[in-house]
Amino acid sequence: RASRNFHPEDTVITVGDAVIGGKEPVIIAGPCSVESEEQICGVAMDVKKSGAKILRGGAFKPRTSPYSFQGLRADGIKLLLEAKKESGLPIVTEIMDISQLPLFDDVDIIQVGARNMQNFELLKELGKTEKPILLKRGLSSTLEELLMSAEYIMSGGNEQVILCERGIRTFETATRNTLDLSCIPVLQSLSHLPVIVDPSHATGKADLVAPMSRAAIAAGADGLIIEVHNNPACALCDGQQSLTPAAFDELKKSIDKVAAAL
Ligand code: PEP
Ligand code: MN
């Protein structure tokens, strides 16, 4: 079902005013984690002003250490819904277990994180929903494995899957992960599904987000998902890779120039 051989036309996914897989790249932006009403609503209004079409924000956080901030969980979803109401932006947030699904009724796009890309039982359950799924590539997954995970969702009847490259594990330590830009044309030739790039988790460094964003757009990505925080130095998660709203505004302008030149 994910293969272009059996479905030659591009899949286009619409949520609110946002079109994913259409002519123009879609920009998703927001903090790694929802931290407070002031934070999520403030960032939502800022990124909207700069041209983001979808708001991101984690409520359930898959942290490496159990002693790190685990997210505001159900309260985080409530605050995201507040930000959705205030800004009018559709929202995307990560699910970690199918028991959390009832909390996602008003969430527009459900994110499956890199660590859950091969949680096949979760994928099967999400295949029974009617919500678009943002499926992130696993830390050490091949593109074939990513597409098979999409297949798990699609075989349940849910064909609205967005593929996301977020960097993979290599021997390189200068960046958090290694951004595999070549996956964009490879996935687009193998599949009709939209392909977006997450330069924040791919690099782990705020100053690398702009150049990798421009490169992803130049390589034909259908969109970007970017971490933006009102005060990166004090962020509860991933501050070192988060852009300020002002830096995001600059980045959005430079992305527009690259997109216009294609
Ligand atoms: C995230 O988007 O907040 C996240 C945890 O990403 P990943 O699953 O790609 O690590
Ligand atoms: Mn993050």
CA atoms of 133 and 2, how far apart (whole Å): 13
| DSSP secondary structure code for residue 39 in this structure | H
Q: Return the pLDDT at 170.
A: 98
pLDDT band of 223, cuts 50, 70, 90: very high
Domain boundaries, the chain: 4-61+70-261
CA atoms of 205 and 226, how far apart (whole Å): 12
Nearest CA to ligand 1 atom 4: 113
Average pLDDT on 229-235 reads 98
Query: Which atom of ligand 1 is closest in space to residue 136's alpha carbon?
Result: 9
Of 249, 248, 258, 238, which is closest to residue 57 (Cα–Cα)?
238
Strands 109-112 and 91-95: parallel
| Summary mean pLDDT of the chain | 98
Tens of pLDDT, residue by residue over 17-46, are 999 999 999 999 999 999 999 999 999 999
Closest ligand (CA of 179): 1
* 22 Cα–ligand 1 center, Å: 24
pLDDT band of 112, cuts 50, 70, 90: very high
* 91 Cα–ligand 2 center, Å: 15
Q: Provide the ipTM.
A: 0.99
Nearest CA to ligand 1 atom 3: 32
CA atoms of 184 and 198, how far apart (whole Å): 12
Q: Which residues line ligand 1 (CB under 6 A)?
A: 32, 58, 62, 113-115, 136, 166, 198, 201
Average pLDDT on 113-121 reads 98
Average pLDDT on 77-100 reads 98
Closest ligand (CA of 229): 2
Give the homologous superfamily in CATH for domain 4-61+70-261: Aldolase class I (3.20.20.70)
Query: Which atom of ligand 1 is closest in space to residue 164's alpha carbon?
Result: 9
Residue pair 184/219 in contact (Cβ under 8 Å)? The answer is: yes
Average pLDDT on 199-215 reads 98
Q: Return the pLDDT at 124.
A: 98
Query: Which atom of ligand 1 is closest in space to residue 198's alpha carbon?
Result: 9
**Ion ligand 2: residues, CB < 5 A:** 32, 238
- Residues forming beta bridges with residue 226, ordered by sequence position: 29
Q: Return the pLDDT at 18.
A: 97
Tens of pLDDT, residue by residue over 138-163, are 999 999 999 999 999 999 999 999 99
Q: Return the pLDDT at 193.
A: 98
Q: Return the pLDDT at 262.
A: 94
Percent of the chain whose predicted confidence (pLDDT) is above 70: 100
Q: Return the pLDDT at 141.
A: 98
Of 72, 54, 76, which is closest to residue 225 (Cα–Cα)?
54
